[in-house]
Structures are given as C-alpha cells and as structure tokens.
Structure 1
C-alpha cells in the first residue's frame, strides 16, 4: 500500500493526462470528520452528519465525472454500534432518511446501489429500505455505489473463515482448494473488484478496520479536509495524486 497525505486547496496542475494514464476503476472512501466539523461550529454532532450527507451527493457526482465505475463509502462501521444510543439513533435515522428519499434520484442518475456488512443488526424497517433501493437500482450501470453499513474488515474475514470451514466439513470444497481467489469469494465483496484507491478525510492516517483484505495493493491518500467540507475538487485532487503513482503490485519497475 502506498500512502500520501495532502492538504486540499486549489486543484494542482496535472502531471498526467487522464487519457494517458489508467483511471482508478474502484475508489473507496473513509468519510471521517463529521463530529469535528460540528464541534468547531458549536453545533450538535447530528449537524455534522447531515452536512456529511450532502458531501455524499457531491462525491457521487465527482465519481461519475471521473469515470469511476465502483465507489465504496464507509458509512457505518461495526464499531459505530459502540457510540451512545442517541448518536446511533441519529446515524441510523439519517441513513434511513437518505436511503428512502435519495433512492429515486440515484436510480434516475443510473447508479446501482449495493450494500455490504451485517445488515441484520439494523431494525427491520431500515433493512427493508436497504433491500428496496438495491432492487430498484440493480440494473443500473453508470456507477456502482457500495455502502459499507455495520461493516468491519476483521468481522468480514472471520465470517468468511467460518463459512469455508463449514463447506469443507460438508465436503462442498476441499481444503486444498482454499486459496486467495476462493477466499475472496466468501467475502461481502465477492464480486466487486478490489479498490484501486482508498481516500480518508480529516487528516487521520489509518484504515480503521475498512476493507482489510481488499486493500492489500490499494493506493492510500489521506486528505486534511473534514468530510462535510468534501467537494468535487477534493475528489479530483485525489485522482490526480493517484495518476502520479506507479503501481507495482510487489514487482520491481520494468519487471512484469
């Protein structure tokens, strides 16, 4: 994994033209900084989360404009359940509202919505909304938007191991058949390409239990921008930085 940090200002001059470099097909984002944004303005946390929802809309538009095919947003982690009951209620209520009222707009824009994570932990009403938006948008191809909800990378790996053990015991697969490719098929992301680029906002430089298996060769970029302030130029800057990278996947330059 290659790491960069950047402060977002004016978009830097591109060193590479989008036509001569391969754009990232899958971008994943750890949306961080809602609470700090609200605290800096003397506002309740929910105000930061609401403003962060507006950043999601800008991010989706920027992804489409940059020809991104897959966009994964870390919207609710498995660790978020440890927050106060009121904040969990605020987060899940806002999520429910967004899913319910943005479904039609996302469908109109040709966005296919997919959900990964332990959805069973949400209340039945929200689970129903999540199922509905996936059904509504399943045939869209302009952008695949993956929402990581009640998601944790370690938990994902553990559930994959348990399922593999069960299938080996049943004789559905042999132990010798277990390799990286087969293991990937047991993950929530089993038919989703690994992210080319992972962006984290707010200046924090860690993955926080996000796509741990899938990020083995992802490019990592950390932006100082708090998520509610995230705009198209921040997305564009991250793409520009990505285009300056040489992705080696463990090999040396010039060696295939």
Structure 2
C-alpha cells in the first residue's frame, strides 16, 4: 500500500498528517488519558501503563523517520523530543514529561477545563469547583495563551521551617505542583492587555479542599517574591 504524501503511518496503524504536532499525535494515539501543555515545549501526559506510552512515543518517532532510544523510564527521539517518567501521587496512572525540540500548539485533555474555544476568565473571587493545582495551572495557562499574554509562576519553597516565594520556570512550577498539593500558596500571573493573577490560598487543614482566587487587572506587583535567577530570598507574605 502506498500512502499519500500528506500522511505518515505510525506503528500502531494511526495515520497522521506530516503537519501534525507531537501533541496532536499523542492525543490521537488513544493511549493518553490526560495531557497538559506546560509551556510551548513541555508536555505532561498520563497513561495507564508505561509500556503503552513507550509504544506511542516509538510510533511518533518512527513517523519522523527516527528510532526511539530508551533507558528504563527515559526516552529520546533524536531531533524531535526527549521524555522521562516523573513521580506522581496517582498510583493508578503513569506520568511522562515530554520536551520537544519544536514549539507545540496549545492542546490538552482535561475533563475539568473548557475547550480551547470556550475557555474564558472566571468571575472575580473564589473559583468555583474542586480543582487540583495542576488543573488550575492548565486552565490559567490556556487562558493566558488565548489572551496572548506572558505567564509567570510563583511557588512556595520551604527552607527548614521557613517558606519563601520564588519565581520558577513553567516546567519547574508544574513539577512542583504535580508532586503534591501541599498547604502553601502559589501564584499564576498573566501579563498583557487582559492581565490577571490567580492565587492558591493557604490551607490550615490539609483535608480541606483547595481554594483558588481569580483577580482580574492585577499582577505580581502585590506579591513579595524572588525573581528567577536572583540570589535574594523573599519572605512568605504579600504586599
């Protein structure tokens, strides 16, 4: 069988357009239970078994005329992507972080978040719903991208009994949130024409549901934090 030039055939039998992004191929594979766009080059995927994910990554790599190299729980497709399993508090699924050479279009698979076409700013104040931190991150990242804004993330880092607010990269922030909810606050800010900031409230009781607050037309100017790359330390507090 001769395939048309506009499509390639994966090892799983899935036909993909040559213009399909890695994220689109992951979503179309049928092996991905959830997908998060962390930044333009970083994607988190969740699947039931690591072997299923390995087969999917191998198929995508083959479609790029490459061969997947693997070393236990890490994978590499030369010139296309690198991937590795990451720890997650959900034992029923495997989480894999994928770093692509080329920037990827915004995409996600998440039942708690509106589609890209329908995603819109929530009302000012407490965000209704029982969201995990990584879901709020994806919600706000999608909204910021749709508004052509620039995102910044501030997380709480503990040094002994002292907590500090630190600006970190999107990948580090998402990994920090993925590792567990914790009781400390964190912030997602979007700078642009429709600027906003979201904060996770401090939890005095770890059994309580997370509380997130949306503040339109505000930014990081009211948060005392250490900028990325700075050697200074800021106290855990807001202005």
TM-score range, shorter chain: under 0.3
**TM-score of the superposed pair, with normalisation by structure 1:** 0.26
TM-score (norm 2): 0.27
* Structure (1/2) with the larger helix percentage: 1
* Higher strand content, 1 or 2: 2
